[in-house]
Structure 1
Amino acid sequence: MGFKRSFDVVQAHCGEPMHVITGGVPTIPGDTVYEQMKWMRENDDQVRNLVLKEPRGYPPVNCNLIVPAKDPRAAAGYIIMEQNEYCVMSGGNTIAVATVLLETGMIPMKEPVTEFYLEAAAGLIKIKADCHNGKVTQVTFTNVPAFPVYLDAEIDVPTLGKIKVDIAWGGMFYCLIDSRQFPWLKLVPSQGKEIARISALCYQAAREQLPVHHPDYPGIGITGSEIHGPTENPNADWQSVDTVYTGEVDLNRPETWTGALDRCACGTGTCALMSVKYARGELKLNEPFRREGLIGIIFTGHALEEVDIHGYKGIKPTIGGEAWISAYCKYVLDETDPFPNGFTVGDIW
């Protein structure tokens, strides 16, 4: 028996599965993690496909490839891969990566607090990890600046009519949709299909009607959506559900109006939402913002300071949350495997 490829993978989750590839990928060209990410996207997308698609993955899974940091201040680098994109930044993935690096000993753990930097494609990310008895109990990271691009923009959405949305950057561009526009909708797991349908429709309509441009990341458009609204949880301040898309959404094809709902509280989505709330005067600097996800996971964010991002008024945010290791695996690709890039089937993709 022979294998074309094999990867060492630590499976972790913070509600959402966030796999971490710790070995098995050769040296990747590039002077920064951002350049390495672009090289992977253009030259070795097989890694992402093998880990995220069937038979090894399923729609909600994300993965991260650990690489040596290019910035001398960072302890490690990581390339973030999701179902429909390579992300320059992701909050849940960052929390999972930091947890895996510390709990496996790849980065020395110091109790009660370990502080270090990671290098994402978005740049240097400061990590503060609370640790107890060999376990990471909380990871708080300082994210890239977050800022709104559109506030209360009205879009025409098939089957829904005119809907108001906000578009904001938190490490990705998000279409933010207030759930109170849909009186029948509750942000609970049992309404997952309806959440995904509304999210997909608004997401694609926003992509077509609201152009965006990030000066630092040319070519990146709106790649995520988030329905948000009040919560009844006394331990949270707001509730949101993000959707990850596993293919193209076509407003003329109802079968594409779907996606995989984020099981965690989404760090970059929380930062985007905080920037909108700050712009509206609904969030103060250094005020905690406890955001509840679909299954009750809570991330806590703070807007540390106001910043200017190429003319946009934004915030410098932090996000804190916890992740848990669930498995240690070796993924292999057999020489005779008829699916060298994995596969998808329309029942769940």
Structure 2
Amino acid sequence: MPFSRTITVVGCHAEGEVGDVIVGGVLDVPGKTMYDKLVHFHTHKDSLRQLLLNEPRGRSSMNTNLVLPPCDPRADAGFLIMESEEYAPMSGSNTICTATVLLETGMVPMVEPITEIALDTAAGLVRVTAECAQGKCKSVSFDNVASFVFKLDYKVHVPGLGEVAVDIAWGGMMYVLVDAASVGLSICHQQGPQLVAVGERIKRAVQASYTPVHPENPRIRGVSILEFTEPLTQEEGGCKVAVNTVVTSPGRFDRSPCGTGTCARLAVLHARGLMQEGEILKHRGIIGTEFISHIRGTATVGEYAAVLPTVKGRAWITSFKQVVLDSSDPFPEGFRVGDQWHMEPN
């Protein structure tokens, strides 16, 4: 067989968001931390991400996770998160997918009814608790890294919109958070194209005017993702409920309620006095699925007051596949087409 590359992948989604997991065919790379390994792949081996996420093997609305040996001795496994435009330091839906694949395939032993594991990410150690029965992960919750707010009500001039107030927060990725109604929109499928276009425009305006820097890892800098929000409501049983949708480059929605986006929002809500420790937030996404979250404690990160968020969701394995690259394929790193990828003009 004239294949120059063969990669073993387990297909998976968490509450609708695709987070496939590479389990074979890729060797480890040097690095004292998982962030070092992230940088190595980005600078030296980015062809892997391009091959798997670009067409014809991938699409704009998917992610791929790479399981690697951990750098932190407390972890059971390490993994890197590859998205269409970046390597995310942390992702909730991808953590849930990766934990589910590790346990359901037996790469990490499953213990019923509760399995506890630790995963080494580029954002730090993340502890995971999986509810398990009959070989299935019924749910996965993760204790995320500390999340905090850089700016509340930051004013930014957006071409075509004028001045827009946004919040900027870290939840494992750098987020811009925008009240959808403040720009004349609501979170619904019918306004999908407008939400994506406006969200990308606001994000670019923030990128041009303000660069947040993580105080514990200054290599993590700049916003890369935007979250539209709607107001909190109260549900029976005392839980708070909110709807959001996250616009991720190159211009599409996160299909899940977004785990790191949930953490960033918890940090903002706590900073505004709208969410206290122990209160439950049911965060719902564009397709109606939800992550259940709470603030388990508080901390300080550099000069910032932070929250310690825990998020719970579900994932399902969808396929077992061998992804190959024929040595004569004219697109060894795939391609993108403007009808789906919302490509920027040159």
Q: Does residue 262 of structure 2 align to residue 270 of structure 1?
A: yes
2:339 is the counterpart of 1:347: yes
* CA contact 1:285–1:304 (8 Å) conserved in 2: yes
Inter-partner Cα distance in structure 1 for 2:42 and 2:183: 37
Q: Does 1:85 align with 2:89?
A: no
CA distance in 2, matches of 1:70, 1:314: 25
**Separation of aligned partners in 2, 1:2 and 1:240:** 46
SS at match of 2:72: coil
CA distance in 1 between partners of 2:259 and 2:55 (Å): 26
The answer to whether the 8 A contact 2:12-2:317 is kept is yes
1:294 counterpart = 2:319:
no
Matched with 2:231 is 230
CA distance in 1, matches of 2:153, 2:168: 9
After TM superposition, list the pairs within 5 Å mapping 1:300-339 onto structure 2: 300-339=292-331
Distance 1:346 1:182 in 2: 26
2:275 aligned to 276, 283, 305, which one? Answer: 283
Query: 1:272 and 1:10 mapped to 2: Cα distance?
Result: 29
Using the alignment, how far apart are the partners of 1:17 and 1:307 within structure 2?
32
**Matches for 1:46-125 after TM superposition, within 5 Å:** 46-125=47-126
Cα 1:326–1:236 change in 2 (3 A) is farther
Counterpart in the other structure of 1:214: 214
Contact 1:172 1:223 in 2 (8 A): yes
In structure 2, how many angstroms separate the alpha carbons of the residues matched to 1:204 and 1:28? 33
Counterparts of 1:148 and 1:231 in 2: how far apart (Å)? 18
Moved more, 210-219 or 121-130: 210-219
Question: Could you say what secondary structure the match of 2:339 adopts?
Answer: coil
| Structure 2 unmatched runs, 5+ | 342-346
| Alignment match of 1:242 (pick from 226, 240, 246) | 246
- TM-superposed CA distance for 1:240, in Å, is 0.6
| In structure 1, distance between residues paired with 2:174 and 2:200 | 15
Contact preservation (8 Å) 1:236, 1:298: no
Classify the secondary structure of the residue corresponding to 2:266.
helix
**Structure 1: which 4+ aligned runs deviate by more than 4 Å?**
231-236
Report the alpha carbon displacement of residue 232 of structure 1 after superposing the two structures with TM.
Answer: 7.9
Residues of 1 paired with 2:152 and 2:78: CA distance?
34
Distance (whole Å) between structure 2 residues aligned to residue 59 and residue 23 of structure 1: 23
Q: Distance in 2 between matches of 1:140 and 1:307?
A: 20
- Equivalents in 2 of 1:217, 1:58: separation in Å? 31
Structure 1: gaps spanning 5 or more residues = 247-258
Q: CA deviation at 1:182?
A: 3.2
Residue aligning to 1:195? 195
- The question of whether the paired residues in 1 share the 8 Å contact of 2:216 and 2:302 is answered with no
* Match of residue 255 from structure 1: none
- Offset of residue 190 of structure 1: 2.4
Given that 2:240 and 2:280 are in contact with CA atoms closer than 8 Å, whether structure 1 keeps it comes out as: no
Q: Could you tell me which amino acid in structure 2 is paired with residue 335 of structure 1?
A: S
Cα shift at 1:186: 2.1
For the structure 1 residues 273 and 231, does the alpha-carbon distance in structure 2 shift closer, same or farther, using more than 3 Å as the test? closer
Aligned alpha-carbon RMSD (Å): 1.4
After TM superposition, the score normalised by the length of structure 2 is: 0.94
AA aligned opposite 1:32: T
Aligned residue in 1 for 2:153 = 152
Tell me how many residue pairs correspond in the alignment. Answer: 336
CA contact (8 A) 2:215 2:301 kept: no
Q: Counterpart amino acid of 1:290?
A: K
Contact 1:236–1:292 (CA under 8 A) maintained in structure 2: no
Tell me the alpha carbon deviations over residues 294-346 of structure 1, each in whole angstroms, 9 at most, x when there is no partner: 10110111111121110111101111100111111100011001011111011
Deviations along 1:200-255, one digit per CA (max 9) or x if unpaired, are 11111111122211123324210100000037895860011001112xxxxxxxxx
User: Whole-Å Cα distance in 1 between the matches of residues 33 and 150 of structure 2?
Assistant: 27
For the structure 1 residues 233 and 280, does the alpha-carbon distance in structure 2 shift closer, same or farther, using more than 3 Å as the test?
A: closer
Q: Displacement of 1:162 after TM fit? A: 1.2
- Which residue identity does 2:76 align to in structure 1? A
Contact 2:152 2:167 in 1 (8 A): yes
Letter in 2 for 1:324: W
CA contact (8 A) 1:307 1:314 kept: yes
- Say if 1:9 and 1:330, in contact at 8 Å, map to a contact too: yes
Deviation at 1:73, TM superposition (A): 1.5
CA distance in structure 2 between the aligned counterparts of 1:203 and 1:39, rounded to whole angstroms: 27
Match of 1:181 in 2: 182
SS at match of 1:42: helix
2:344 is matched with: none
Task: Report if the CA contact (8 A) 2:164-2:183 is conserved.
Answer: no
Report if aligned partners of 1:178, 1:227 keep a CA contact under 8 Å in 2. Answer: yes
Distance 2:38 2:162 in 1: 38
